[in-house]
Amino acid sequence: MGEGISDYTRYIVDLRRHMWLEGVETELRRLIWQIAVTGKYISAKIHESNRKLAGFRNIYGEEQLSLDRSSDEILKNQLQNSGFVREYASEEQDSVVQIGKGHEKYYITADPLDGSSLVDTNLAIGTIIGIHREPILSRGRDSMVAALYITYGPLITMIYSAGTGAHEFVLNREGEYVLSQENVRMDERGSIYSPGGLRKDCTDGHIKYLEYLESEGYKLRYSGGFVPDFNQVLIKRGGVFTYPALKKSPNGKLRLLFELQPMAFIMEQAGGMATNGKEDILSLKVTEIDQRSPVYIGSRFEVEKAREFL
Ligand code: AFP
């Protein structure tokens, strides 16, 4: 029997079955499934846009939406049609958009295409989603029930958590999300660090923290895309990603609602931590949709260590 055929005899757990086995409630299951499927459409858009790298041109000379904007459109339309979402807040929108009729259970935050400036370099990029049961301007810890992110790299992978651990799926050739790692667990300590921001703009405490990590032999891993950089720390089960307070922007660069809360939710579910250097990301009160925060996210040792230096 050829290798290809025996593939089909393997017992695979697909995303829907996994969520059912985990006891995720029906509507949430359907919503997560819908978002994962939307990742396939966004990925198709990325491929379409990458055709430009291969010399293809839009034959009609039409103005095309940027990849971020078209990913946002795709996501918003899919969520609107799902019937489960009351409000949609996206990095691409100026305000929270009411997309439901008012009785739906969920409120969604989205960074539809994070790292879009990396598309032309062919580096990995991603989609980040937070799922809330309460209006989003509160504390993530009070309102979030699930989070997921999709990495568009050599493979498309998806990690979700609905509050019972963090689980990784890979999109196979048949277009199914197949379980690749159940219950990803962070080690107490890792060996990589992923630091955003220019060192000359950082505070003394943060620079000393980086020097400490370097003196301990931590290896630098930074692509400039939050999704793949975070994913590397999570999948390697240790280390830290940080985008710190900068002298001119004390709240750093990354957005609390769209980028940090979902990843903090997943990291905590994997046994790691996420703080702004003092407080947990999920304990921070969000008052504006484009609120930013410094972040230290990863295994416990490195995140707690940051607190000592700051
Ligand atoms: P883009 O979506 O504009 O590419 O920004 C990506 C990002 O928000 C996040 O994915 C990175 O961690 C961070 O910016 C990188 O910022 P620096 O370019 O300042 O390192």
Could you give the domains of the chain?
7-181 (3.30.540.10), 192-309 (3.40.190.80)
CB of 51 closer than 8 Å to CB of 64:
no
Tokens of 238: 């240790």
Helix axes 261-269, 226-235, angle to 10 degrees: 10
Average of per-residue pLDDT across 108-123: 91
**Closest ligand 1 atom, residue 224 Cα:** 15
Q: Whose CA is nearest to atom 16 of ligand 1?
A: 224
- 11 CB neighbour count, 10 Å cutoff: 4
Query: Distance from the CA of 115 to the center of ligand 1, in angstroms?
Result: 6
Percentage, residues of the chain above pLDDT 90: 84
Pocket of ligand 1 (CB under 6 A): 114-118, 196, 224-226, 243, 253
Distance 122 CA to ligand 1 centre (A): 15
Residue 224 CA to ligand 1 center (angstroms) comes to 5
Using alpha carbons, select from 260, 41, 40 the residue that is nearest to residue 155: 40
Q: What is the pLDDT of residues 168-215, one digit of tens each?
A: 999 999 999 999 999 999 999 999 999 999 999 999 999 999 999 999
The arithmetic mean of pLDDT across residues 152-156, rounded, is: 96
> What mean pLDDT is predicted for residues 17-45?
95
What tens digit of pLDDT does each residue of 270-306 get? 999 999 999 999 999 999 999 999 999 999 999 999 9
pLDDT at 50: 64
Provide the pLDDT for residue 47: 87
pLDDT confidence bin for 5, thresholds 50/70/90: very low
Q: Please, which pLDDT band fits residue 3 given cuts at 50, 70 and 90?
A: very low
CA distance 274 to 238: 13
CA–CA dist 244, 51 (Å, integer): 36
Average pLDDT (10-39) is 92
Nearest CA to ligand 1 atom 18: 224
Percent of the chain scoring above 70 in pLDDT: 91
Task: Label residue 302 exposed, middle or buried (CB < 10 Å: 0-12, 13-18, 19+).
Answer: buried
Average model confidence (pLDDT) for the chain?
92
Tell which atom from ligand 1 comes closest to the C-alpha of 114. 2
In this prediction, residue 51 carries a pLDDT of: 59
Task: Give me ligand 1 centre to Cα 197, in Å.
Answer: 9
Question: How many Å lie between the centroid of ligand 1 and the Cα of residue 7?
Answer: 38
Q: What angle do CA 95, 279, 90 make, to 5 degrees?
A: 20
pLDDT for 232-245, tens place per residue?
999 999 999 999 99
